[in-house]
Structure formats: structure tokens, C-alpha cells
A and B are shown apart, each in its own frame.
Chain A
Amino acid sequence: MKPEYRLHAKLAGMMLILVVLHILTANLVTIASVQPSFLLIGIGFIAVRHGQLPAMLHAFPAGLLLDLYLGDVVGISALSLVIAGFVAGYFHHEERAASIIRSPRMVWALLAAAFAFHAIFVFTYVQTLEIDILGTVLKHVFGATLYTTVVGTIPLLLIARTGGGLKV
């Protein structure tokens, strides 16, 4: 198998595990109905490490899988994740990817991606509902963005501590 294919298989496997992890454990870490997106953390790492294209290509099926199981609107997570992957991809640098992933720049990448993800998700979802938009945005966009970034920082710190031992 070509190394490129092997990489994509590995990333697809990782995303599948993250989908399962999200389905099984997201409710356990929910705070005031705000939960982090494990998929987004994975997509953020893929985007910074490998670029926009792989991030988007893996974001779409993962998001779709999640939508099919959890969402009442199929395609909404897929769209949000694809765009989040695209945004996080701007922090990718071909030659310095390995070092960026261990640097504070990765936190900014996650923050930007999380904001894009939650903002698109919420605005797409609530556009037909008669709810308190400001409250929803504060809670489910800014709150969820912050929460996802914080959770995403944990593997970042782990990677930083392991040096080159752990590869994403």
C-alpha cells in the first residue's frame, strides 16, 4: 500500500474512533448542555498537520456519520466540519507542520476551527427556530468554542510532552 493511502486509512480510522467516542461519551462531559466536539479536535489536528484538503475530505464522512446517528438535520455537521477543516488548514505549514502541532499556534487553530464549526452549526440549525438568538449564540457558539478548544488542548499538551514519539 502506498504511504499516502496508508496515511488516509489511518486518518479515516482515527476519525471513526472519534465518531464512536463522541457518540458514547459526549453526554458525559456535557456542561450546561454545551459539549465539545471530539471530531473537530481530530479535524483540527489533521488540518494543521496535513492541510486543508485531507481535513475536508475526512471531515465530510465523519460529520455525515454523526449526522445520520445524532442529528435530525442530516448534513449539518458535515458542512460545519468541512468548513472548520478549511479554516484550521490556514494554520498548516508544509515544512513546519510537526512543530506547529506542538506549539500555541495549534490552540489558535483549534479556536478558529471551533468557532467556525459551532457558528455554522448553530446558525444553520436555529435559522428556522423561534428561539433566543443571542442566548443561543453566546452559549452554543462561544461557550462550545471555548470548551472544544480547552478539550483540544489536552492532546496538544500530550503531544508536546512526547516530542516526536507520538505522531498524528
Chain B
Amino acid sequence: MPYTLPQLRLLILLAFTLLVGLGVREWRAGFPDAAERFERFDREDAVSPLVPDADAAPAGAAPRQAPGRPTPPPPAAPAVPGRVTPPAPATPVPVPAAPPPPAEPLDVNRADATELARLPGVGAGLAQRIVEERERRGRFDSPEALRYVLGMGPKKLAAIRRFITVRD
């Protein structure tokens, strides 16, 4: 035995740390949105990383797979459809693509929760909060006023900005 026991323990610990690092790197490369959500979970405009479905893809588009799940870092990740790294997978990759362009912009002062939930990145929960905030305020004076809704961050608002409007 060339090493003492403490030395051996240190080696094992170091190797294990590096292994975990490898796993995390693979996972972050495979599920960049999920990793981003974990990173930003405590920010004001955060989307819960644990409840990916609350803000699922717009109705009509294929639901996104796994990305939001808190998957344990897989040393060798299985080829789930959500994985982006392998080039040209057999099935088309359902990326969070742009939704079908709506016929005309949605009036956030008139739309109901179901209509609002069709906006990209807006789930049933957020749509409900938009409606509640609208009831509390009477109306939204501008599309930017949606920022006052909990969960409506600058990025999300920018993403839906061209699909919404405020009419008098």
C-alpha cells in the first residue's frame, strides 16, 4: 500500500468531485434551458425549475420533453428527444420554436385566461395571474404594464410582445 489511508481518501474525494463535474457538464450541455432555470430559480423573473409544465409550450406545438425535470446528472445521458447535442437525431427536435403566428395580436385587456395561455411561455398559472392583476388594476395601460404580473420577466415579455396589444 503506497498511500496512507487519509491520502487515499483525499484521492477518492478528488476523483469523485471531478466525476460529478463531468456529469454536471454533460447535463448542462444537454439541457441548457433547464440548467438556466436552475441557475435563475431565485431571481425575480424566475420560472420554477421544478414545475416545468406550468409554463409549457404553446398549445398546438408538441409539448417539450424532459428539459425542465431535475434530472440527476447522468454520466452517460440517454438519448431522450430533448437532447440537443447529438447532431441530426432521428426524430425532429421539438425546440421551443416560435408559435404559429397568430392572425392578429391579442388584446390583453379582453383576452381570457385560455387565450392568454396560448402565448409562448405563458402557462395556465401565469395566464390566471395576468387576469387577476387585470381585475385588480382595472386594465393594463400598455403592454409593458404586464411586467407587474408575478413571473412576467423582461425576457418573457419581449418574447410575447409582438403577439399582444392594448386597445382602447
A, B co-complexed:
no
A: residues with CB less than 8 A from B are none
